[in-house]
Amino acid sequence: MTHASGDLLPYQGERGGSAQKKQGMLQGLMRSQATFAWLLIAPAALYLVLVVAWPLVETVRLSFTNANIGGEAYIGTANYEKLLSSRKLGQTVSRTFYWMFLSVSFKIIFGLIGATLLNAAIPGRALFRMLVMPPWIVPVAIGCFGWLWLYNGHFGIISGALQYVGILDGPFEFLAYKQSAFYSAVVTDVWVGLPMVTIFMLAAMQGVPRDLYEAAYVDGASRWYRFRRITIPQILPVIITMSILSIIWTFNSFEIIWILTEGGPRSATTTLIIDTYKMAIANFKFGQGAARAVIVVTLLSVFSLVYLFALHQIKKRFEAA
């Protein structure tokens, strides 16, 4: 970047004639500061340009070709036309949004409930806080193999327990039917994402100044009132951050569905990411896969912009208050 950018920075040290000499020195220091900072950032930036930015550009380019294992040729917008005219895309997109909506809502609601429980002053809470974490740190794939076994109709514990209490009158293969496979995948996705949401909300709750609660308590406010009128507004930025991060991760979520159902049965769990992967990697249709990836990236960018906008609004409201 530019060498002279240091000149543009306002001098922030103490003022006055005696500082004249010092100011000259600091100016020199500042000037090299920008260069030095960019030198420090350069390796990370170059690495990400190579491994993330370039592939992103390449994905866009490939989406206009018929690239496959044999070669590639420019075919204009044919991939997109094919994609947009097929009825499947609409189904996949709405399924993806439904998947995202369910999973994120459950993560946020149960995250709030969990954080409230773990924040309550009851004996054992240090232990409880620790016991929440495992799904977050354990490899997602391994957790999913565990769920795969749990969902087994004949030998899994869920079907077994439901038969035992009489809800089911025979073995039920959760992953074999369209509806149940979809909701099972949602449950597993919630399981993977819930610990992190819970812990972040808990940290936010711990950061709420205690005197707010004490003042409300003295005024006779009930627990529920305090939760609604103090906790929720105070941790709202974190709720929003966690919502958008969950949206992005759920949208990108690949391993869970892939291990449980590979997108089946009969596409019932095929989200956009799974569709992209199937097309590109399993069928070697790179061009058509890339067109799907571009749609995914576009949607992700929209989510992120909405997020930035929401955070900005909240900040403004906080500053106004």
- Residues 120 to 139: which contact other proteins by CB under 8 A? 120-122, 128, 130-135, 137-139
Question: What three-state secondary structure class fits 207?
Answer: coil
Q: Which of 15, 18, 20, 44 binds other proteins (CB under 8 A)?
A: 44
Please select the residue that binds other proteins; options are 88, 301, 309, 312, rule is CB under 8 A.
Answer: 301
Which alpha helices (DSSP H) does 49-120 contain, by range? Answer: 54-62, 78-85, 87-119
Residue 108 engages other proteins in binding (rule: CB under 8 A)? no
Distance, in Å, from the CA atom of 216 to the CA atom of 221, rounded to the nearest integer, reads 5
Segment near other proteins (CB under 8 A); pick from 80-88, 90-98, 176-184, 296-304: 296-304
Q: Using CB under 8 A, which residues numbered 222 to 261 contact other proteins?
A: 237-238, 241, 248-249, 252, 254-255, 259
Region from 80-88, 91-99, 149-157, 178-186 binding other proteins, contact rule CB under 8 A: 149-157
C-alpha to C-alpha distance for 98 and 289, rounded to whole angstroms: 22
The amino acid sitting at 264 is G
Considering only 186, 194, 260, 268, the residue that binds other proteins (CB under 8 A) is 194
- 219 CA to centre of own chain: 39
Q: What angle do CA 206, 209, 211 make, to 5 degrees?
A: 130
- Tell me the closest approach of the beta carbon of residue 225 to other proteins, in angstroms: 13
304 binds other proteins, rule: CB under 8 A: yes
CB-based contact 59:290 (threshold 8 Å): yes
How many Cβ atoms from other residues are within 10 Å of residue 179's Cβ? Answer: 9
Out of 84, 157, 167, 176, which residue is the one contacting other proteins (CB under 8 A)? 157
Identify the H or E element spanning 39. helix 20-48
- Per-residue interface string for the shown chain with other proteins, residues 259-278, x marking contact by CB under 8 A: x-------------x--xx-
Residue 19 tokens read as 């500082």
Site string for other proteins, 15-34 (x = CB under 8 A): --------------x--xxx
